[in-house]
Amino acid sequence: MAPIKKDFEIAIIGGGIAGVALAISLVKRNIPCTIYEKAHAFGEIGAGLGITPNATRAMKACDPVIYQVFDRVAQPAILWTFFDGSDEKKDDEPIFTLGDAETGIRGCHRAHFLDGMIQHLPKDVAKSNKQLDRVEEPYGPSGKLRMVFQDGSTAEADAIVGCDGIKSRTREIVVGSDHPSATCGFTHKHCYRGLIPMEEALEVIGKERAMGSNLWSANKRHIVTYPVANGTILNIVMHCTSDGDWPSSTNFVLPVGEEGCYVDSEGLSPRLRRLVKRMKSVDRWGLFDLGDHPVPTFSRGRICLIGDAAHASTPHQGAGAGLCIEDAATLASLLADDRVEGRDDISAAFAAYDQCRRDRGHRLVEGSRRIGELYEGQTEVGKDFKAIENEVRIKAKDIWEFDINESIHHSLDDLGRRLAVKTGATDYRQGNFRAGL
């Protein structure tokens, strides 16, 4: 039996992985929603996407169909192997490994995953070319929030969820445009992302490395590789430390060409530099996060934030997409609870979501920064690989072993307490738990 349709509508700002995962989760629970995407079509930046075990569990809590899509486009879980990438005599000698065929990270192409999810959305759920400018709240006798878009058009909803990424306009609205966390800060690190045909990768690093998931550590830089597209393509990301400031306040991706990328690979072993040289049409991606100024709250009234809008992080733990899917599962379960009967209960659901997710989001931001510094020999342990391994394992355990269903149950208890305070009730036991249905 399908859940009873909720008497409110959710506006989702942004049609990336976070927004689409949330929309699928809400539709599954019979909660009306509309996605407003600023581009003319849905899309994801970047190429390869690493998914940790906690993320696959969160997919199932959102809607099992999300996991089914992922499972079709992703590589099997494989061992992550760490190397010293500064010396060709050492760059093929494993230092330590992480994960295995059961619990390792799985790689896929971002666009393939997103395109697969979109196929499971009703056709009338999404509107394109809608970039949020401001929110007027509440608007008129209906009590709805009114969204004004940059093209002058407007729309109304009972609540708004910002899934609009690292440059989130919704975040500015929640915290205030003059708050330090309204915009992300440059981490003094950048990266180059590329895809090369697997046959070329095999020529340079051999089958064992090309078909595996690897990280090579060096001074002020590190390189990550793993196969995507059913093993036909090698995804490469080369990370580097930047000494100066980022040259643009609006564009986080700048064209540099293959030669600029190759120059930045100095310090890697000759073999790895030959691999980097195979990368084509290369851009330099500035790595920005909210580490200096964490968002003080993920919600305000009937507006809330998920994914990078809430906890933009560097990619060094490979966990950003996973946490946004956890966010979606948590928020959808709260909104679906029987005790959230109408618009007036949404702010309590959003507050419970904030209480449940904010600390984990902040830990991701802090941990990812730290891991990036460890990989590039910029911490107090230098190149003590045993110390690096110990810390990497501790942080991976915190991310990978997270129990999303237990967390959702705790958030539903918190929701009950908040609604009980609001109504003066004494019984705040959980309604129907809809994680995954």
Q: Tell me 344's DSSP state.
A: G
Residue 358 is among the residues annotated as catalytic for this protein: no
Residues 6+ apart with CB under 8 A from 414: 352, 355, 356
- CB count within 10 Å of CB 43 equals 13
Active-site pick, 193, 273, 357, 434: 193
Chain-centroid distance of CA 209 in Å reads 26
CATH label, 185-289, candidates 3.40.50.720, 3.40.718.10, 3.20.130.10, 3.30.9.30 = 3.30.9.30
Q: What does the pLDDT read at residue 2? A: 75
148: left (phi over 0), alpha (psi -120 to 50) or beta: beta
Encode burial over 138-170: b for 16+ CB neighbours within 10 A, e otherwise: eeeeeebbbbebeeeeebbbbbbbbbbbbbbbb
Per-residue pLDDT, averaged over 13-31, amounts to 97
The residue ranking higher by pLDDT, 249 or 315, is: 315
Encode burial over 221-259: b for 16+ CB neighbours within 10 A, e otherwise: bbbbbbbbbeeebbbbbbbbbbeeebeeeeebeeeeebe
Q: What does the pLDDT read at residue 434? A: 44
Residues 6+ apart with CB under 8 A from 3: 29, 30, 336, 432, 434, 437
Token output for 265: 């690979």
**Residue 437 pLDDT > 70, yes or no?**
no
Strand partners, 161: 12, 304
Q: What does the pLDDT read at residue 258? A: 86
| Percent of the chain whose predicted confidence (pLDDT) is above 70 | 95
Q: What does the pLDDT read at residue 436? A: 44
Per-domain residue ranges for the chain?
10-76+106-184+291-423, 185-289
C-alpha to C-alpha distance for 146 and 140, rounded to whole angstroms: 9
Query: In this predicted structure, which of 74-78, 249-253, 308-312, 376-380 has the lowest mean pLDDT?
Result: 74-78
Q: 102-139, pLDDT tens digit by residue?
A: 778 898 989 999 999 999 999 899 999 999 999 997 76
Q: 330-360, pLDDT tens digit by residue?
A: 999 999 999 999 999 999 999 999 999 999 9
| Percent of the chain whose predicted confidence (pLDDT) is above 90 | 81
C-alpha to C-alpha distance for 27 and 359, rounded to whole angstroms: 28
Q: What does the pLDDT read at residue 112? A: 92
Q: What does the pLDDT read at residue 121? A: 96
Per-residue pLDDT, averaged over 305-326, amounts to 97
Q: How many helices (H) and strands (E) does the chain have?
A: 13, 19
Secondary structure (DSSP) of 218-287: ETTEEEEEEEETTTTEEEEEEEEE-SS--S-SS-SEEE-HHHHHHHHTBTB-HHHHHHHHT--S-EEEEE
The answer to whether the CB of 130 falls within 8 A of the CB of 19 is: no
C-alpha to C-alpha distance for 159 and 151, rounded to whole angstroms: 21
Strand partners, 109: 48
Residues 6+ apart with CB under 8 A from 336: 3, 6, 26, 29, 31, 432, 434
Ranges 240-244, 367-371, 427-431, most confident:
367-371
The answer to whether the CB of 405 falls within 8 A of the CB of 98 is: no
Q: Mean pLDDT in the chain?
A: 93
Q: What does the pLDDT read at residue 103? A: 77
Architecture of domain 10-76+106-184+291-423: 3-Layer(bba) Sandwich (3.50)
Identical fold at 10-76+106-184+291-423 and 185-289?
Answer: no
Query: In this predicted structure, which of 8-22, 115-129, 330-344, 422-436 has the lowest mean pLDDT?
Result: 422-436
In 63-168, which residue ranges form alpha helices assigned H by DSSP?
Answer: 64-73, 110-118
**Residue 433 pLDDT > 70, yes or no?**
no
**Residue 310 pLDDT > 70, yes or no?**
yes
Q: 138-180, pLDDT tens digit by residue?
A: 766 678 999 999 999 999 999 999 999 999 999 999 999 999 9
Residue entry with tokens 């490979």: 318
- CB count within 10 Å of CB 58 equals 32
SS3 72: helix
